[in-house]
Amino acid sequence: NKLNIAVIAGDGIGKEVVPEGLRVLEAAAKRYDLSFDFKEHDFASCDYYGRTGEMLPEDWKTRLEGSDAIFFGAVGWPDVVPDHVSLWGSLLKFRREYDQYVNLRPVRLMPGVPSPLANRAPGDIDFYVVRENTEGEYSSIGGKMYEGTDREIVVQETVISRHGTDRILKFAFELAQSRPAKHLTSATKSNGISITMPYWDERVEEMAKNYGDVKVDKYHIDILTAQFVLNPDWFDVVVGSNLFGDILSDLGPACTGTIGVAPSGNIDPTGRFPSLFEPVHGSAPDIAGKGIANPVGQIWAGAMMLEHLGHKEAADGIVQAIETVLSEQKLRTGDLGGPLGTVDCGKAIADALS
Ligand code: NAI
Ligand code: MG
């Protein structure tokens, strides 16, 4: 039972934090008796674009064939390639063509990471944001009329399908069911958006019938964002449409401190395609090449990948090792007020695991 992992470091600090992610995955393999086959790829980077004029080779799907998952760093080098070119040419292609319809982000206050919210301690904030990743508000249906006149109109339709809604809700309900609190919150706006959002609510009610042990509530997106900041301890699993989930999945990690520690999964739960795990942060050109980037977001993404692949014990082991290391000021990176660089912090987490 070898795990075949495609490794794409990408650009900037992606190239510095991915090796630390691999170091910790190797340590987890030893401790939990797993075995990895890592296959590194140089595409989906701006270097690759510089050499070839493309972000991905034409046969990228063939090259990724047989991968159980993709372990991704970060893409983007805006001085050389415009961000919409690098992002649409790589990450967004993976998301769409591999039908990674779940974007999953843990929101958890870790020890040693100061929360911008007052009076919050580790344990107070521990929930997931589940974002629909393929349809909703981000459709390409619409257009412009009467261009250049004072009657100019632009329209962009929201597409909420039964299939797309039910599959994201099913994932979110199952996640809620697997957690001690068994509590699902739905993000809606059915008071203002009078066609698509009441339908979303209806599908939530329908799906809830299959999960009698899960407590369900819903909030309109405006007050929900306020409650994220005021009462983050109220939440366990929060599910939202593409746009609402996008907003919540940045706001959530922001409530738990530095961007350097947050991970994210782009998941096809059916297993038909490989899922992609990455840190929330980007390539950080301002600190790239200095060896000071925090590797925790990348390492935690590795834990999410293992959990997705059915190795929950190993995943929990990695998260625990991260917590152990973050608890000690002398083992943190500079963004958290510690003295260590990227490599030494990665080594400390690997050691804590062994
Ligand atoms: P960014 O996340 O790269 O950086 C934002 C700020 O956070 C910077 O000051 C950076 O130094 C700091 N930071 C980020 N990660 C850190 C870490 N691990 N440790 C310590 N500090 C860290 O976002 P930015 O600057 O908006 O984007 C830079 C490039 O990254 C752009 O090309 C953008 O398109 C790309 N990007 C790629 C993403 C991806 O691959 N999924 C996600 C976000 C941005
Ligand atoms: Mg976003």
CATH number of the domain that residue 78 is part of = 3.40.718.10
In the chain, which stretches have pLDDT less than 70?
none
Answer for the pair 249, 141: CB distance below 8 angstroms, yes or no.
no
Instruction: Report the alpha-carbon distance of residue 354 to residue 351 in Å, rounded.
Output: 5
> How many angstroms does the Cα of residue 100 sit away from the middle of ligand 2?
16
ipTM: 0.98
Residue 316 a catalytic site member:
no
- Give one DSSP letter per residue of 199-247, joined into a string: HHHHHHHHHHTT-TTSEEEEEEHHHHHHHHHH-GGG-SEEEE-HHHHHH
> How many angstroms does the Cα of residue 267 sit away from the middle of ligand 2?
16
Residue nearest to atom 38 of ligand 1 (CA): 282
Atom in ligand 1 nearest the alpha carbon of residue 74? 40
Q: How many domains does the chain have?
A: 1
319 domain residue, yes or no: yes
- Three-class DSSP labels, 112-134: CCCCCCCCCCCCCCEEEEEEECC
Answer for the pair 76, 9: CB distance below 8 angstroms, yes or no.
no
Q: What per-residue confidence (pLDDT) applies to 9? A: 98
144 domain residue, yes or no: no
The CB of 74 under 6 Å from ligand 1? The reply is yes
Flag whether the pTM goes above 0.90: yes
Residue 189 a catalytic site member:
yes
Q: Cβ neighbours of residue 209 under 8 Å, at least 6 residues apart?
A: none
| Residue in the structure block whose two tokens are 């922001």 | 254
88 domain residue, yes or no: yes
Per the residue annotation, which of 33, 42, 217, 222 is the catalytic one?
Answer: 222
Count of alpha carbons within 13 angstroms of residue 177, beta-carbon side? 13
Q: What per-residue confidence (pLDDT) applies to 140? A: 84
Per the residue annotation, which of 33, 146, 233, 312 is the catalytic one?
Answer: 146
The CB of 278 under 6 Å from ligand 1? The reply is yes
106 domain residue, yes or no: no
93 domain residue, yes or no: yes
The CB of 85 under 6 Å from ligand 1? The reply is no
> How many angstroms does the Cα of residue 14 sit away from the middle of ligand 1?
9
12 domain residue, yes or no: yes
341 domain residue, yes or no: yes
Residue 30 a catalytic site member:
no
Q: Using the 8-state DSSP alphabet, how is residue 165 labeled?
A: H
Per the residue annotation, which of 15, 128, 189, 219 is the catalytic one?
Answer: 189
Residue range of the domain that includes 337: 1-100+288-354
352 domain residue, yes or no: yes
Answer for the pair 312, 320: CB distance below 8 angstroms, yes or no.
no
